[in-house]
Structure 1
Amino acid sequence: MNYREVFNIRVIFFDTETSGLDCRSCKIIELAMLTVENGKIIEDYDEFVNIGEPISHRIYEITGISNEMLVNEGLSEEEVAKDIRKRLSPDTLMIAHNAQFDLSFIFQLLARHYPDDAYDIVKEVKWLDTMTVLKDRKKYPHKLIDGVNHYGLEKVNFHRAIDDTKALYNLTLAMKDERNDLADYIRIFGYNPKYGVSGVRFPFIKYWPQPFRCNDGRMVGEDKILPERLNQGIR
């Protein structure tokens, strides 16, 4: 399946802000989804989530999201879970930066409200991690802001989910224009072998070691991208 065939389907660029790093004990406090069809943005979804418990001052410092904002403006978890379920379908490609993190949190949210269906919902969707792609394009570091700086893209207010999705959209287009191999990375997530896979390990995702490249700033050759190394069993 080539890039053009894949990206004719609906694409959702998504990002979460969370109450902490552990998807099993922490929750999503903001969810943003930028939906693109035929190259046009058709929906700009951005909602706070009232998780029914206070968030720490540290999370407020990082995200700018306060407990008052969640209580006064947030939807219930049940409403957000319903919104996610309505948008996830087999003809959808979900794109996130460090997608393992966001996918794990989305799955745990769905599991709390659709315990019998959550796994099947996320299994049927196509997932693409732009951090995995970026690691084959540039040297360390590989955060979203590093990708934006590397390609000279417009800066946004990072650490707010909706702004991150817009930056992610532009980053994906820049990487697609640079080399047309993004489809090869679908359902393939690289991970730092020093730390292993964090969050929920999903059987429908292929995980493969992807060490940081600190010294060589050049793109990895087409025969050495992570999907090729996985296919050849090269660690």
Structure 2
Amino acid sequence: MFIIKIIFFDTETSGLDCRDCKIIELAMLTVEDGVITDDYDEFVNIGQPIHPRITQITSITNDMLKNKGLDERKVAQDIAERLTPGTLMIAHNCQFDLSFVYTLLKRHFPDDAEEIIGNVDWLDTLTVLKDRKEYPHKLIDAVKYYGIEEVHFHRAIDDTKALRNVAIALRDERDDLAEYINVFGFNPKYGVGGLRFPFIEYKKQYFVKRIVSEDNILPRK
């Protein structure tokens, strides 16, 4: 594994099911040698109205998507250009965001989508957090656990900035993040949400009350 760059990414979507819903905002914060080299944040014009509930959660309106949103194919191209070998993609609940990124790529680059997402590595900070802290485990909870300055959640670019700080806090707490690359935990009560990917190792993950020992982290089980 040779990491050239890290991309902290987050999506806001029109719903929860990647098969029926679409990305309406995508943020990618690229870091190389500890320096932010790219700050990408775009609305996506999906060509259909979003539910008022989504606007209530995200503050994203239909007018914002129509007037400021990029064409979905352009966003797919932007993703493909950034997902180069040697890239580590980091998200909180990465399974969700990866599923939406893949289905977006599949719509526009059906012959290349599997190769694009399979050529990079993936890290889920939610899986790491579940080995460190008791429930709940949302990004906002991680921010509180580690005393990170609060941000305007449910806007993708703000979430990526908070995510970077969370990842730094997790690394400073215990330097074992590399072991979680391409390992996603899931609650056995609910199973794996979204799509399953052959390059990801899915493992059952149960709630803990405190940080687990170094010999008992999920990737080693």
Normalised by the length of structure 1, the TM-score is 0.93
Alignment correspondent of 1:125: 120
Quote the sequence identity (%). Answer: 68
Per-residue CA distance 1:58-102 (angstroms, 9 max, x = gap): 000000000000000000100000000000011100000000000
**Alignment-derived partner of residue 77 in structure 1:** 72
Once the two structures are superposed, what CA deviation does each residue of 1:162-210 show, in whole Å capped at 9, x if it has no partner? Answer: 0000000000000001100000000000000000001110011000000
Match of 1:232 in 2: none
Aligned length: 221
Match of residue 226 from structure 1: 218
Partner of 2:27: 32
Computed over aligned residues only, the root mean square deviation of the Cα atoms, in angstroms, reads 0.8
Q: Quick one: distance in 2 between partners of 1:125 and 1:41?
A: 19
Are positions 1:178 and 2:170 aligned together?
Answer: no
Structure 1 residue 33: deviation in Å?
0.2
Q: Does 1:51 align with 2:46?
A: yes
Q: Which residue of 1 aligns with 2:15?
A: 20
Matched, 1:159 2:154: yes
CA distance in 1, matches of 2:79, 2:116: 10
Alpha-carbon shift at residue 9 of structure 1 (Å): 1.9
Partners of 1:181 and 1:224 in 2: CA distance:
12
Q: Which of 91, 98, 101 in structure 2 is aligned with 1:96?
A: 91
SS of structure 1 residue aligned to 2:6: strand
What residue is the counterpart of 2:61 in the other structure? 66
Helix, strand or coil at the partner of 2:196: coil
Alignment of 1:183-194 (within 5 A): 183-194=178-189
Q: Which of 36, 53, 56 lines up with 1:41 in the alignment? A: 36
Shift of 1:124: 1.0
Match of 2:81 in 1: 86
Q: Does 1:203 align with 2:191?
A: no
- Matched to 1:137, the amino acid is R
Question: Which segments of 5 or more consecutive residues in structure 1 lack a partner in the other structure?
Answer: 230-235
Between the aligned partners of 2:39 and 2:108, the Cα distance in structure 1 is 24
Alignment partner of 1:167: what SS? Answer: helix
**1:135-166, CA deviations, whole angstroms, 9 ceiling, x for partnerless residues?**
00100000000000000001000011000000
- Other-structure match for 1:111: 106
How big is the shift at 1:51?
0.1
Letter of the 1:169 counterpart: R
CA deviation after TM superposition for structure 1 residue 25, in Å: 0.2
Where 1:196 maps in the other structure, the secondary structure is: coil
> Which 5+ residue runs of structure 2 have no aligned equivalent?
none
Q: TM-score, normalised by structure 2?
A: 0.99
Task: Give the distance between the partners of 2:126 and 2:86, measured in 1 at CA.
Answer: 22
Partners of 1:120 and 1:82 in 2: CA distance: 14
Moved over 4 A (4+): none
